[in-house]
Chain A
């Protein structure tokens, strides 16, 4: 059974840092591209970042570029999100999501974790 379990969320002051982790199991983690998606309280989904299966290709949403760093450790079946210079508007539930290709170019998020809450407040 595919499982994605996020951890590392919590309360942090503005300007602070936090590192999120996503532990993957039930599939060959090193074969899949992964993403982080967040959802502010009462708001919609916002894509945050993408990483290729090897880690060679990375993309970020404009709202986090330069402050967040996505990474992965395929030996540990884990995905990470290092979040620096945190702002109140970064307050959200952060989900890791697996990218699944249904054809040569089309893909969607087929498995999501349950999310971890990050609260940025003084």
Chain B
């Protein structure tokens, strides 16, 4: 059974950093690209960042470019999102999502349950 478990969310002050993690199991992690997608509760979905199976291709939404860094450790079956210079508008539920392909294709067949990030003073 595929499982994606996010962690690392919480309340953080504006301008401070936060690191999210996603532990994957139930599939061959290094066969697939992985992504972070966020959602303000009750609102729509926004793609944040994606990374190919070998970290050779990485993409970011304009809203986070230069502030967020995605990475993965295939030996640990883990995906990460290092967030810096956080803003109030980054407040959202952050989902880890598995791509259906090795490269950045953008179809997500499995999602975690999300970790809530709240940016507030």
Instruction: Tell whether A pairs with B.
Output: no
Q: Measuring CB to CB, which residues of chain B are less than 8 angstroms from any residue of chain A?
A: none
